[in-house]
Structure 1
Amino acid sequence: MGLKKGFLWGGAIAANQVEGAWNIDGKGPSVADVATYKPNVDVKDYKKQVGVTSESIDKALHTKDTEYYPKRRGIDFYHRYPEDIKLFGELGFKTLRISIAWSRLFPTGEEKEANPLGIKFYKKVFHEMHKYNIEPLVTLSHYEMPLYLAIKYNGWSDRRVISMFRRFCDSCFYEFKDDVKYWLTFNEIDSVTRHPFTSAGIIPDESENLLQDEYQAFHHQFVASALVTKDCHKIIPGSKVGCMLTKLTDYPNSSDPRDVLTSFNKNVMNYFAGDVQVFGEYPPLVLNFFKKNNLHIEITDKDRQILRNNTVDFVSFSYYMSTVSSYDKGNLELTAGNTIVGGKNPHLKTTDWGWTVDPIGLRISLLELYDRYHKPLFIVENGMGAKDTLTDDKKVHDDYRIDYFREHFREMIKAVDAGVDLMGYTSWAPIDLVSASTSQMSKRYGFIYVDEDDLGKGTLNRYKKDSFDWYQKVIASNGKNLD
């Protein structure tokens, strides 16, 4: 059957990884602006090495350096967005997923009115997108909450942050109601326990009970997401609001029932965030997890009503790789992945950064999510980071990237043929940008090469890779031409 007419092909970026301009036109610092360059992260000590401390934050606030803090410079999308969006238009994009930097509109998060220069910038971006008939898909919180809220409130562990986020979101809905109809609330909302500072503004050494704070932050984000979903539907008639999950597909390492059980238990927690936002209530197994771990999450009757009455319209997700689990961790070789470290599947190839390449896993993920939620799905992140080489004649021959996408698209279409309702697909990322976890430029994802190295040196010129022409043909044929 193939993909439906009107399928939303495109790409995805995040403000903190592309915009730069971190301290101009009234923008306040975000949690991303204290993220440091980490080129040599050991998978065995991943979480510790990518974390932050009160001391590291204080150090960051006393410098305007952009070499050691690459997300402060990004790829200068703030000034080059017309050029980049023109290229996306040339690719034939039907949609572009972007995020709105909270601290560009509300520098500390506590302001009562939005920064007019921030509003003006995003209005210009949306105008440019519409010029090329590109439908905006906007993420409201993509790892870039105001740093001030992290320092003062320890981020989302404090219930008061809900009302501040709601004020920010409602400002976006009122200001951009004529520009945007598709919205996502929190990027990879399930990631709070994997990187609490990046995802929820929680400073680990400021928490007396980190696990307690993480799951309380989860709850506050669930309530906030439900409230702004309600607001969006009221302010923008016909709008659609989705949740955004990290699809961490995991297999048992063997048919040993103990491996199967270990993988099952891992997937229960992986589905937790989606279950709350789609079904409007906490899964019983998760509530029992709270009890067994002596976690006392403040959930009021009003919260329960808000969650129950304001579920999402669709489910979006990122998918990059899969892992395997074993009851005996000594049986596993570990490998890196999207915000995780997991068991390496010996049947799969890996990228330059050790992430497994599992196209069939994408089909499995689509079937699992649709069978579970019965909601329209949207793949909003999928891609591979690689070490690209710019030739003397300014070309990038990235057949490996074309092969990656071709195989994933084939499996995606098979899932649709099996009955999955799929709204669209946005690659991560259509243009090279600063990577989320290690803040590298050398980990390149795009169909467009950006001449900038890990230390910020280069012309910032944009060059089309071989994959640019290939993806252009895929979109023009609505997925029928994958050669």
Structure 2
Amino acid sequence: MNKYIFPENFKWGAAASGIQTEGITNKANESIWDLWHNKSPERFYRGIGSSLVTDTYNRYEEDVQLMKKVGFNSFRTSIQWSRLIKNYETGEVCQDAVEFYNNYLDEMIANGIEPMMNLYHFDMPAELQEKFGGFESKKVVDLYVDYAVKAFELFGNKVKYWITFNEPIVPVEGGYLYDFHYPCKKDGKLAVQVGYNIILAHAKAVKEFHKLNIEDSQIGVVLNLTPSYTRDEREEDQKAAWYADLLFNRSFLDPMVKNEIPQELCDVLAEQGVTPETTEEEIACITSAKIEFLGVNYYVPRRVKAREAEYELDYFTPEVYFENYVNPEGRFNPYRDNNEILPTAIHDIAMNVKDNYGNVPWFLAEIGIAMDEASEGKPDENGIIDDTFRTDLMKEHLIQLHRAIEDGANCFGVHQWTFIDNWSWTNSFKRRYGFYRLDLETGNRIPKKHGVWFKELATTGSFEG
């Protein structure tokens, strides 16, 4: 057995989002998820929408105590734009939301839990999507910045870590390429414009944050970085992986972290006829908006090979340059659509950030081990669910993170997805990730064995494995 010791003052906790946990009580406006569920409940697993969640709005005091019970010293969640802003044109805030978020933040801080607050977690206000096209529109970019400034002003004295966007490529993929988020469009050129506008919104918000000079406060972004691995070493496969990395990782990582827009990306977009509308002023903003930290989300690797079959879609997606590939020798999680398990990808991501992105301070903002309720089983005689599978896999990933830190990675924390099993978009509660199970009928939080292990990890900063 080896002992793995992490740095002092390491951040241990979990990640969630407002829309996946708060519920709809006293919410000022609808988000696109409320709208879409009303329109098409059949798109959601068992028809469950975001009204059935952990109800943090009413149970935050109880939940903060549960955070303490598993050793959290930090927690990332999000403010809901559609909860905080009552009138999008005037910027009028909902006072009930201000009171709720202040109380929630105060409760975390009073219990030694550092809040890390994200401003956008896929939850575009429905009115702005329907009226303007959401981030298709630069007007909505400016409305987002107005909202961000309100949040900074209202809660900046309590929040030391601000995050502009969580996984900004996901609304692009889901809403405009692959039809798993609203507005369910398939338009490559529009997808690129939305991606660019999100990068611009991020940059403008970062600039406004720095103007406020909030003492002892930082701003960053959370990106899902998925390394691209090839079938083998043949040159055409290596080129396929290069394209996948450029389009899925560097497209956001370079502008948001290095403040550079890759020329290769511009060339690819021009070749495909999907170059976004930009201005020199916007580019200057993007290339000068400095962040202080990066969050990295990792779940599964990407496997690619050179394209062999003819590309059949009538619109641009990154797959015009490659095909996805399943590693015949890989390990797979039987509880999450047989997704590949590859803990060494954590080390590869960390070395990429270290070597190519200035060794920016970063934290593992999401790492989640999915199980379904049946595989977790029923509580034992002590009322605890045995999810040892989750703990064993988490150890493997953290060993790779520890190796990366020893190799110079500038990592300052780990947040597991997620705290209490939460509602997850169209999958609703199909997969479970939490330290606590949510009983959908009673709302009870049922502890899992993994939380006992995690508390020891968080308390000592070390584990044996």
* Superposed pair shares fold, TM > 0.5: yes
1:185 corresponds to:
164
Aligned to 1:371, which of 325, 343, 355? 355
Shift of 1:200: 12
From the superposition, tell whether residues 411 and 66 of structure 1 become closer, same or farther in structure 2 (CA, over 3 Å).
Answer: closer
SS in 1 for 2:331: coil
2:125 corresponds to:
146
Shift of 1:237: 2.8
Report the more deviating stretch, 278-287 or 396-405. Answer: 278-287
Judge conservation of contact 2:225–2:296 (CA < 8 Å) in 1: yes
- 1:460 corresponds to 2:443: yes
2:243 corresponds to:
265
2:316 corresponds to:
none
Tell me, in whole angstroms, the C-alpha distance in 1 between the residues paired with 2:304 and 2:50.
Answer: 33
Alignment of 1:430-449 (within 5 A): 430-439=419-428, 441-449=429-437
Tell me, in whole angstroms, the C-alpha distance in 1 between the residues paired with 2:115 and 2:331.
Answer: 34
Shift of 1:395: 2.3
Which one-letter code corresponds to 1:461 in the other structure?
N
Tell me, in whole angstroms, the C-alpha distance in 1 between the residues paired with 2:240 and 2:259.
Answer: 26
Judge conservation of contact 1:318–1:379 (CA < 8 Å) in 2: yes
Give the superposed CA RMSD: 2.5
Shift of 1:109: 3.3
Shift of 1:107: 4.4
Tell me, in whole angstroms, the C-alpha distance in 2 between the residues paired with 1:164 and 1:476.
Answer: 42
Judge conservation of contact 1:232–1:239 (CA < 8 Å) in 2: no
Alignment of 1:78-157 (within 5 A): 78-107=57-86, 109-157=88-136
From the superposition, tell whether residues 421 and 128 of structure 1 become closer, same or farther in structure 2 (CA, over 3 Å).
Answer: same
Judge conservation of contact 1:143–1:199 (CA < 8 Å) in 2: no
2:304 corresponds to:
325
Tell me, in whole angstroms, the C-alpha distance in 2 between the residues paired with 1:96 and 1:227.
Answer: 25
SS in 1 for 2:420: coil
Aligned to 1:357, which of 332, 337, 341? 341
Aligned to 2:189, which of 212, 220, 227? 212
SS in 1 for 2:286: helix
- Count of residue correspondences: 439
Report the more deviating stretch, 180-189 or 304-313. Answer: 304-313
Shift of 1:482: 3.5
Which one-letter code corresponds to 1:370 in the other structure?
K
TM-score under structure 1 normalisation?
A: 0.85
2:9 corresponds to:
6
1:380 corresponds to:
365
SS in 1 for 2:50: helix
Tell me, in whole angstroms, the C-alpha distance in 1 between the residues paired with 2:397 and 2:229.
Answer: 18
From the superposition, tell whether residues 366 and 11 of structure 1 become closer, same or farther in structure 2 (CA, over 3 Å).
Answer: same
Judge conservation of contact 1:191–1:199 (CA < 8 Å) in 2: no
CA deviation digits over 1:69-97, x for unaligned, max 9?
Answer: 42122121211111111111122211100
SS in 2 for 1:133: coil
Judge conservation of contact 2:171–2:181 (CA < 8 Å) in 1: no
Shift of 1:110: 3.1
Shift of 1:199: 11
Which one-letter code corresponds to 2:378 in the other structure?
L
1:16 corresponds to:
19
Which one-letter code corresponds to 1:347 in the other structure?
E
Tell me, in whole angstroms, the C-alpha distance in 2 between the residues paired with 1:111 and 1:298.
Answer: 27
TM-score under structure 2 normalisation?
A: 0.89
CA deviation digits over 1:264-285, x for unaligned, max 9?
Answer: 1111112210101122231001
- 1:343 corresponds to 2:307: no
Tell me, in whole angstroms, the C-alpha distance in 2 between the residues paired with 1:143 and 1:78.
Answer: 19
Tell me, in whole angstroms, the C-alpha distance in 1 between the residues paired with 2:53 and 2:120.
Answer: 17
SS in 1 for 2:119: strand
Judge conservation of contact 2:45–2:427 (CA < 8 Å) in 1: no
- 1:243 corresponds to 2:211: no
- 1:416 corresponds to 2:410: no
Tell me, in whole angstroms, the C-alpha distance in 2 between the residues paired with 1:199 and 1:31.
Answer: 14
SS in 2 for 1:242: strand
SS in 1 for 2:129: helix
Tell me, in whole angstroms, the C-alpha distance in 2 between the residues paired with 1:103 and 1:328.
Answer: 42
Report the more deviating stretch, 369-378 or 107-116. Answer: 107-116
SS in 2 for 1:241: strand
Tell me, in whole angstroms, the C-alpha distance in 1 between the residues paired with 2:393 and 2:107.
Answer: 30
1:39 corresponds to:
none
- 1:426 corresponds to 2:415: yes
From the superposition, tell whether residues 108 and 218 of structure 1 become closer, same or farther in structure 2 (CA, over 3 Å).
Answer: farther
Unaligned 5+ segments in structure 2 are 310-318
Tell me, in whole angstroms, the C-alpha distance in 1 between the residues paired with 2:259 and 2:342.
Answer: 31
From the superposition, tell whether residues 155 and 463 of structure 1 become closer, same or farther in structure 2 (CA, over 3 Å).
Answer: same
1:230 corresponds to:
207
Judge conservation of contact 1:75–1:460 (CA < 8 Å) in 2: yes
Which one-letter code corresponds to 1:436 in the other structure?
W
SS in 2 for 1:481: strand
Which one-letter code corresponds to 1:417 in the other structure?
E
Unaligned 5+ segments in structure 1 are 37-56, 331-339, 453-457
From the superposition, tell whether residues 111 and 66 of structure 1 become closer, same or farther in structure 2 (CA, over 3 Å).
Answer: farther
